[in-house]
Every structure is written in structure tokens, then in C-alpha cells.
Amino acid sequence: MFLQRSAVAVARRAAVAPVAPAVRRSFAASVIRRDAKNVESHATVGQKVKSFEEVRTEQDLLGPGAAPGTVPTDLDQSTGLERLEILGKMQGVDIFDMRPLDASRKGTLDNPIVVKSAGDEQYAGCTGSPADSHIVTWLGMSRERPIERCPECGSVYKMDYVGPEDDGHGHHDHHHGYEEPKTFADFVKPQYW
């Protein structure tokens, strides 16, 4: 009885098992490929890593890559903004200003909590004053509408644009027919602000 059931199980496994390829790639083929002389290296092994102060152009933000046969580090293979961030951290500079916002006080219209932004829009999460007095409420600010008030606690946040003055596209003078939707704040009398 036991033999009969195990024979059925073996036959069932054999029916659904994938067919093995006739020829598998051997380990020796990998070694031959690694030692091939016609493989071009995209990285210059002896290239010096530039410091944060030496970065001037986008070409300076391309990593040298790793030496052949080694595993690259983040510094070797990072490019662009990631590389700028790593080089800045090595010099002790936090280029993206990742410090948390001031949660020790409640922002008012006269003294709002300032949120710096290098882009046209910025989102900030309010947890209330004192901190963690309500769940996170995400507030969206833009260059056209830089001040936002938290609907939970009433704290006011203001976006301070620190990016380039002109993005080179010239699209800020017209909105392609888009008009921002009205909110309740648009209908409040000015004397109540």
C-alpha cells in the first residue's frame, strides 16, 4: 500500500517537473568570459574622486566605477544628485536639509513655520503642537500659494523658495487654462485673517 502511494507521488512529480535543458552553462565558460581581453572597461580605475568643493559641472558627478573584478561601493557607482549627497555628507554638509521642522511651537500668520523648497511645490507633514498631538496631516504649498494652515491644529506653514529664480522654460506667466480650485479660505473676509 505504501509503495503504491509513493509510486503515484513520484509519477505526479515527474509529470509537472520542468524539463532540464540539454546543455547547461559551465562554470569554466564564466571564467573564460571574465578573462576576455576584448571587454572594454567604462571606468578609469586610477581616476581621483572629487571632493564636494571641487564639483562644478554635471560631469563631476559621474563616479569612476569599480576596478575590474571588484564590487563597487556607493561612492564608486553613484551619479547625479545621489553622488552630490554622498560627497556632501563626507564633508559634513547636508545638502537637502533633512532636519525636522520646528515642532516646539505653533505657527501663526505673523510667525509661520518656514519650510524651504528648491522646487515649485513642497509637502510638509504637521503633527500638531505640541508634537504628536494629532495624526500626520500633509499640507501642500506652492510658489503661487506659499502659506498653508493645518486643518487639525491651525498651525501655519510658509514655503520659502530657495531654488533658481528662472527655470528657463518661461511657463510661469500662463497656466494653460488651469485655474486652482477655490477653497473656503478664498471666501473668508480679510478682517477675519
DSSP string covering 59-101, please? GGGB---PPTTS---HHHH-BHHHHHHHHHHHHT--TT--PPP
> Could you count the other beta carbons within 10 Å of the beta carbon of residue 148?
25
- Percent of all residues in the chain with a pLDDT value above 70, rounded to a whole number: 68
pLDDT greater than 70 at residue 29: no
- 3-class state of residue 163 by DSSP: coil
Residue 13: phi, psi to the nearest 5?
-65, -40
Pairing mode, strands 156-161 and 147-149: antiparallel
Poorest-pLDDT segment among 37-51, 65-79, 120-134, 141-155? 37-51
- pLDDT score at 101: 82
* Grid cell in block for residue 178: 488651469
d(CA 81, CA 84): 5
pTM above 0.75, yes or no: no
CA angle (42, 49, 79) in 5-degree steps: 60
Average pLDDT, the chain: 77
pLDDT of residue 148: 95
**Confidence (pLDDT) at 158:** 95
The residue among 97, 124, 95 whose CA lies nearest residue 112 is 124
pLDDT at residue 160 tops 50 = yes
- At 39 the pLDDT is 47
Burial class of residue 142 in the structure, from the number of CB atoms within 10 Å of its CB (0-12 exposed, 13-18 middle, 19+ buried): middle
pLDDT digits (tens, 9 = 90+) for 138-153: 999 999 999 999 999 9
3-state secondary structure of 13: helix
Please report the pLDDT score of residue 65 as a whole number.
85
Residue 123 clears pLDDT 90, i.e. is over it:
yes
CA pair distance 44, 41, nearest whole angstrom: 8
- Report angle CA 87, 91, 96 to the nearest 5 degrees: 65
- The Cα-based distances of 162 to 74, 111, 115, 132 in angstroms read 28, 19, 10, 28
